[in-house]
Amino acid sequence: MSSQQGSSENTAAVADGHQTGVSDSNQVPPMTATLMGRLFVVPALVVCVLLGVAVVVVLFGSSSIEKPETMQDLLSRIEVDTGDKAGGMLLFPAAKETWQAAQELARRLEQKEKYLAPEDVEPLARRIITILDESRQAGGEGQGSRDQERGHARKLFLLTALGRLETPSAVEPLAGFLEDSDAKTRQFALRALADMASVPEARKAVGKVYPLLNDPDPAVQIVASLVVAALADRGDPIAIRGVAEKLESDPEIRWNAAMALARLGSKRGKLVLMNMLDRPFWEGRGGELDYEETGGTRIRRRLTEAEIEARLCAGIKSAAFLDDLDLRDLIVKLSRDDKSHVVREAARAALEAMVKKSDEQAFEAAPDLLGRTG
């Protein structure tokens, strides 16, 4: 397991679009390589992209950006600080905190209706696209200095912000970043496209995501599987075939592929999901972690109870997308017998959703049946 997959407690993504990990501290940490690793990691189970089709970046320390500043003020702060260049990479002075302005911009756009009028969406998108274009032209995405790391963080937050605007004009620029040489940039471009799953133009761009299913970086493969399921139509044979090939990969990739397949309406990952719904699996061989932390420290440990709960809940929510009696029976068992209240409640909620879906399907079929027998 890679360092990106090992630190799930510091994940940059959380399920169902709810923000976690926001500190009450007024101390803003300096942007360092270690902090970059904490800000932008992919956990072993990237469940956020599909559960809520939303990604929240964890904030480590509250931003010193004053809350009264408008969205336009935040973007102007980023635009004004063009920075110096060193080795082709834009540098951003710490005093101006442009990465934190970009962070705050992305955070507010989680609730864009609260902060932004509909007529302001497209102009804001054009300004963000211009900044990102300048970033690409600057090149040299190395992280050899603190200023370079700030510039990199700024770009990732802006990609997140652009996706949250959910405007068709953002699709092509985001798709362009899928070919970026930096793995984290590819991850965040993918996530931004997933945020736009309700935009028809984004769904049409799913073909540009397929190549990343075989990305050299395992974390990118994980995100790509889930983004394919977010953008592709349920039952899409091309999407199902591409994701199903990942079932033969390493465990983290395989688990996420099975969840993605369930959301695509395919049972090809059923056996994997059955393991994911089995607590003894996670408490046994499935819960053995062996990965390298940022900085090179080798970590060997077992899953914590909270991590087991998260994996069981992820499996439950994914299995609920399939009309399968074997999976339903496992969810029923968890709803009754699991020792965790969190898992039992997740299982009960999934069962209720499955019953509701079944009732709706029966209701939709009723007129046709009456017509045949009347």
Give dist(CA 314, CA 303) in Å, integer.
15
Q: What is the pLDDT along the chain (374 residues), one digit of tens a residue?
A: 443 444 333 333 323 333 333 333 334 444 333 333 333 333 434 433 333 333 333 333 334 444 568 888 888 888 875 544 444 444 444 434 788 889 999 999 999 999 999 999 999 999 999 999 987 776 544 445 666 778 888 999 999 999 999 999 999 999 999 999 999 999 999 999 999 999 999 999 999 999 999 999 999 999 999 999 999 999 999 999 999 999 999 999 999 999 999 999 999 999 999 999 999 999 998 888 887 776 778 888 999 999 999 999 999 999 999 999 999 999 999 999 999 999 999 999 999 999 988 766 665 656 555 544 43
Q: Does domain 3-62+166-373 have CATH number 3.30.2420.10?
A: no
Give dist(CA 135, CA 373) in Å, integer.
65
Residue 282: its pLDDT value, please?
96
Q: Which residues contact 269 (CB under 8 A, 6 or more apart)?
A: 244, 247, 254, 257, 258, 259, 260, 261, 262
Residue 58: its pLDDT value, please?
33
Residue 73: its pLDDT value, please?
85
Residue 362: its pLDDT value, please?
63
User: Which of 286, 338, 331, 296 lies closest to 44, judged by CA?
Assistant: 286
**What residues does 299 pair with on adjacent strands?**
291
Residue 152: its pLDDT value, please?
85
Give dist(CA 161, CA 76) in Å, integer.
15
Task: Return the sign of the alpha-carbon dihedral for residues 105, 109, 110, 114.
Answer: positive
Residue 141: its pLDDT value, please?
46
Cβ atoms 167, 115 nearer than 8 A: no
User: What number of residues does the chain have?
Assistant: 374
| H or E element that contains 281 | helix 279-283
Residue 136: its pLDDT value, please?
77
